[in-house]
Amino acid sequence: MGKTMSEKILARAAGVGEASAGDILWVNVDMAMMDDILGPRVEIAEGLMELGDRVWDADKVAIISDHYTPPASVKQAEIVKFTREWAALHGIKNYYEFVGPCHQIMAEKGFVLPGTVVLGTDSHTCMGGALGAFATGVGSTEMLGVLVTGQTWLRVPETIRVVWGGSLNAGVMAKDISLETIREIGHAGATYKAVEYVGEAISSLPVDERMAITNMAVEMGAKAGMMEYDGEAAEFLAGRTARTQDELAAGALSSDADASFARTLVKDASALTPMIACPHSVDNVHRIEDVEATKIDQAYLGSCTGGRYSDLKAAAELVKGRRIAGGIRFLVSPASQEIWERASRDGILQTLAEAGGTILAPTCGVCVGLHSGLLGAGEACISSSNRNFIGRMGSKEAEIYLASPLSVAAAALAGRITDPREVAA
């Protein structure tokens, strides 16, 4: 019987010949990531002191202050200050702040590589699966153990395989693939499973859009979102790591044709239309035409799910030469400083600003309701981010709709939720 990607990666990380779903393994961690919100200040700093105050391998640890940057209060500033100083105290050179959401930075800095095990104190760490890694979120207590030993125990997950054939039509994006998959599987349908995405529609996507899909695997309860490492992933990693292309390819693992899957879904991308997750659950997904004319107050284009270069470019092409509707707040937050600079050089940010967009720093602030654009009671926001829980972006009496960057831009122009294909026509 063949093996899945997850079974192969975890077996290798544990130093055993093979593993099967359900096995519990002690695995070596290739890269550990902490952010500011669930990083050193939460149990880790104090716990490490009690356990000897020494990190097992500082070069395999990255700390990224992203939720509280730029700080919007003294408390936030103190948290970032503590995180910065703790990283320096423990010799962690891979420290970043003010450069964007942690998952994007992990990918850009070459810390997520095919066939590796990557753990982070953020549930959307699973985004790293777009590069062929087994990447998953852990709590601060578990991260403390990783920092001391470089290891942790994991139960090998079963795998749900999602085959997306065909190709996406104009106006439809990877975010729509993600939302449609979540609609079918449900918010808990993949609990502690790996969700592996394959098929023509997936392999034809750039890494930018693949990340939008694996990022949201956790919204189905998944332990990891997985994709095969290929030429697109190799192109993305080129120049971002000291490893050669041959070394990266040698480290990559993929599922065998006769591997055992818990479930297989077969979907047709050519039949997919723009989708939208309505309040207050990520799996409350409908076709966008079903909620057209819903008035919005804010449109948010950004985050680690929907603020990459291709997202900004698609939105800019849609709004070019137009103005957003009166009374609408159109917030744009590139997913990293690297993307911010590239989009600026190429005139994309100027186009978005000329349409009425407000260009923000690369940050998690809006997505998680910490700063830079919170919602008031009774307001509605359409967002390219990954969660629409009650109170997620501000008031508990606000409503959040999740959609693709194109759908967000279309709504900003119309002042209401609308099909981006109609706006582009």
pLDDT digits (tens, 9 = 90+) for 369-409: 889 999 999 999 999 999 999 999 999 999 999 999 999 99
**pLDDT single digits (tens) 93-106:** 999 999 999 999 99
pTM reported for the whole predicted model: 0.96
Spans of all domains in the chain: 5-268, 276-424
Q: What distance lies between CA 27 and its chain's CA centroid?
A: 24
Q: How far is CA 410 from CA 288, 342, 385, in A?
A: 11, 23, 16
Superfamily of structural domain 276-424: Aconitase, domain 3 (3.30.499.10)
Cα–Cα distance for residue pair 200/192, rounded to 1 Å = 26
| Tokens found for residue 176 | 């729509």
Beta-carbon contacts of residue 340 (< 8 Å; ≥ 6 apart):
100, 334, 349, 361, 362
Cα–Cα distance for residue pair 387/393, rounded to 1 Å = 9
Mean pLDDT to the nearest integer, 119-136: 97
Closest CA to 10 of 113, 117, 114, 127: 117
* Domain 5-268 listed as CATH 3.30.499.10: yes
For residue 26, which amino acid is it? W
Strands laid side by side in the 263-268 sheet: 224-226, 193-198, 158-165, 263-268
CB atoms within 10 A of CB 191: 12
Mean pLDDT to the nearest integer, 135-157: 96
Closest CA to 24 of 192, 210, 199: 192
**pLDDT single digits (tens) 296-350:** 999 999 999 999 999 999 999 999 999 999 999 999 999 999 999 999 999 999 9
